[in-house]
Amino acid sequence: MNETCRLLKAHRSIRKFTGQTVPDAVVEEVLRCGQAAATSSNLQAVTVIRVRDAARREQLAALAGGQDYVASAGAFLVFCADLNRARLACESQGGTFCEDMTEHFILATVDVALAAQNCVVAAESLGLGVCYIGALRNAPQAVADLLDLPRLVYPVFGLCVGTPAQDPEVKPRLPLGAVLGEEVYPAAGMMAGIRTYDEEIRAYYRRRTGGTKDSCWSLEMKALVGREARPHMRGFLAGRGFGMK
Ligand SMILES: Cc1cc2nc3c(=O)[nH]c(=O)nc-3n(C[C@H](O)[C@H](O)[C@H](O)COP(=O)(O)O)c2cc1C
């Protein structure tokens, strides 16, 4: 164990922030750390939009289903997968951008995730708290319009960053037996791992909510993957040049 491992394992999402704005120099350092992440073929398919305007922040909070920390965090960043920049470079050299490749979509989305998580770790190392906001994809076209996103750019998620005004407990994760395979897929340990985890997280939810939330991971997964999830995404992505060929 070292300081970095301790920091990584101390992560918990923060959903209450003091009103303190995150200084530009801090946001810029955090973003430089994001840029330092590995990136497929040096594609660097990430564009981050910092939203400061209060009215625009309120609109984004509403689009994200009324998550008020989108408006109240010390900084709000929208992480976009961006193939537009690569297109410009390609065309400047006489090339023709090949639209709608599934592989390009994966490259850009993975790039965003890696850069964002580097930002998260950097921010947390500076004593800040964060919360990803995937709910921007509830209304991705409205978000794209609000941020003037060109074709070949799509908002993957937002990130609230700021000084924490709460100190929640770290949320337990699945036991390694359910996520680590030796040589082959860990099928044997899977259900046992899920059951163990269900009980652990049930106890965590009870503690966190003073006994009012009585749920477990399997129930949450039923709600998550047991129904359609944002079925508008495919059409939205195709419309922006992220078809799936
Ligand atoms: C891509 C992504 C999108 C997320 N979107 C939201 C969101 O819209 N609202 C929210 O409150 N939390 C959001 N979260 C936070 C997760 O709920 C949280 O990371 C998860 O429950 C584990 O809890 P922890 O971060 O406290 O360890 C998101 C996390 C990720 C990685």
- Residue pLDDT, tens place only, 154-188: 999 999 999 999 999 999 999 999 999 999 999 99
How confident is the model at residue 47, as a pLDDT? 98
Q: In this predicted structure, what is the pLDDT of residue 245?
A: 94
**99-157 pLDDT, tens digit each:** 999 999 999 999 999 999 999 999 999 999 999 999 999 999 999 999 999 999 999 99
Report how far ligand 1's centroid is from the alpha carbon of 159 (Å): 10
pLDDT of residue 196: 98
What global pTM score does this model have? 0.98
**Contact of 58 with 29, CB cutoff 8 Å:** no
Split at pLDDT 50, 70, 90, the class of 220 is very high
* Per-residue CA distances from 117 to 80, 96, 111, 174, 188 (Å): 14, 32, 10, 20, 31
| pLDDT value, residue 53 | 98
For residue 204, give the 3-state DSSP assignment: helix
| CB 171 less than 6 A from any atom of ligand 1 | yes
- Nearest CA to 70 out of 55, 90, 89 is that of 55
Determine the distance separating the centroid of ligand 1 and the alpha carbon of 12, expressed in angstroms.
Answer: 9
Task: Determine if ligand 1 sits within 6 Å of the CB of residue 95.
Answer: no
Per DSSP bridges, beta strands 75-82 and 46-50 are: antiparallel
For residue 4, what pLDDT band results from cuts at 50, 70 and 90?
very high
What confidence tens digit (pLDDT) does each residue in 36-94 have?
A: 999 999 999 999 999 999 999 999 999 999 999 999 999 999 999 999 999 999 999 99
